[in-house]
Structure 1
Amino acid sequence: MRHRLYYLLPDIECARRTLDDLLLSRIEQRYVHFLSLGAPLPSDLPEANILHRTDVVHGAGNGMLIGAALGLALGALLAMNVDLASPSAVVVGTTLLGLIFGGWAASMVAAALPNTRLKAFYPEIEKGKVLMIADIPASRIKEIEKVLEERHPEMRFSGEDPRIPAFP
């Protein structure tokens, strides 16, 4: 299980040094991402992807719930009002179609919206700071926090999220 840690860094050079320290602490590069709105990040720093920057995951989850509920309601209406050979198959089918369509449609809309979890960081990022998003194993959080605090007093710990999705 991993926890997501957020750190605000003053500049790109600090981000490079922090990434190096995390790599030396055996945190794989695929678990560390940086977000900057000012200057573009250099190619040696892993940039936050669409799943980090936007609300795609949150939107897809909400869309799947709403779509499944509407599909279930439509299937129930059809089963009650139309003479069907297999009403339960129709209910299951419309629920699955609603789930898939709702997830797809809502994720397309949410891809245009900034991530609501990062909303609090945007004022600082707009001023030129760099946000580091690091997914750290739960058993190593204290160790990594201590290393970063000792080696980088200029950066600011900005929060932790224990509810990260398993895939980004």
Structure 2
Amino acid sequence: MRRLYFLVPSVESAKAIVTELLLNHVPEEKIHVIAKEGTPLEDLPEARLRESSDLIPALERGAAIGGATGALAGLAAVALPGLGLVVGGGTVLALTALGGGVGAWASSLQGISTPNSQLTQFQDDIEKGQLLMLVDVPKDRIHEIEDMIKKHHPEADIAGTEPDKPVFP
């Protein structure tokens, strides 16, 4: 999946695009709209916290860092003379899991209160009244969806595509 970004000038334009996307088999849960606070979006699919904050990237980073820290702590516990034989590999696994969980929890608290870093480039346009549409589509449909928007909605500004993210950061 890749995320497409479109800036549109009005709620009416966004509604027309959403309708066309739905007719072209893009599920509603893959369409998200972000607008200036106070803009009535009516029945448009509003972006959730997951799309508008840095929750998911922060959660991933926290789990990775916390898990690595937990694994190192477990290995250090096993390496202690006399304690290592008693503690064993189960402790390493337990501390890795505990570290990953605590890291994910702690960093998600920060991430949920931080605006999505991918969206900062659009903040000025949103404040000026434009609506930002985020549309998640399979890689093989990117050009089809972009061409459809260009052809039927010249008022929409195709503002880019989110790059692929590696499986492991």
Q: State TM-score, norm by structure 2.
A: 0.90
- The whole-number CA distance in structure 2 between the counterparts of 1:138 and 1:73 is 38
TM-align CA RMSD: 1.7
- The whole-number CA distance in structure 2 between the counterparts of 1:61 and 1:78 is 26
- The whole-number CA distance in structure 2 between the counterparts of 1:86 and 1:30 is 47
Partner of 1:30: 29
Supply the AA of the counterpart residue of 1:124: D
- The whole-number CA distance in structure 2 between the counterparts of 1:77 and 1:24 is 57
1:119 equivalent in alignment to 2:124: no
- Contact 1:3–1:136 at 8 Å: present in 2 too? yes
* 1:119, distance to aligned residue in structure 2 (A): 1.2
- The whole-number CA distance in structure 1 between the counterparts of 2:139 and 2:109 is 32
Secondary structure in structure 1 of the residue aligned to 2:164: coil
- The whole-number CA distance in structure 1 between the counterparts of 2:165 and 2:32 is 14
- The whole-number CA distance in structure 2 between the counterparts of 1:22 and 1:67 is 40
Q: Which moved more, 1:15-24 or 1:78-87?
A: 78-87
Structure 1 gaps, min length 5: none
Identity of aligned residues (%): 34
Size of the aligned set, in residue pairs, is 164
Structure 1 residue ranges (4+ consecutive) displaced by more than 6 angstroms after TM superposition: none
- Contact 1:3–1:164 at 8 Å: present in 2 too? no
The 5-angstrom pairing of residues 139-158 of structure 1 reads 139-158=140-159
Q: Which moved more, 1:110-119 or 1:155-164?
A: 155-164
Please give the per-residue CA displacement for 1:49-93, whole angstroms capped at 9, x wherever unaligned.
111000011101110111012111211222222525242111111
* 1:137, distance to aligned residue in structure 2 (A): 2.3
Q: State TM-score, norm by structure 1.
A: 0.90
* 1:159, distance to aligned residue in structure 2 (A): 0.6
- The whole-number CA distance in structure 2 between the counterparts of 1:38 and 1:85 is 58
* 1:164, distance to aligned residue in structure 2 (A): 6.5
- The whole-number CA distance in structure 2 between the counterparts of 1:153 and 1:60 is 37
* 1:43, distance to aligned residue in structure 2 (A): 3.5
- Contact 1:10–1:129 at 8 Å: present in 2 too? yes
Partner of 1:137: 138
The 5-angstrom pairing of residues 1-168 of structure 1 reads 2-81=1-80, 83=83, 84-163=85-164
* 1:16, distance to aligned residue in structure 2 (A): 0.8
Structure 2 gaps, min length 5: none
- The whole-number CA distance in structure 2 between the counterparts of 1:135 and 1:73 is 37
Secondary structure in structure 1 of the residue aligned to 2:142: helix
* 1:4, distance to aligned residue in structure 2 (A): 0.9
- Contact 1:16–1:45 at 8 Å: present in 2 too? yes
Supply the AA of the counterpart residue of 1:77: A
Q: Which moved more, 1:50-59 or 1:68-77?
A: 68-77
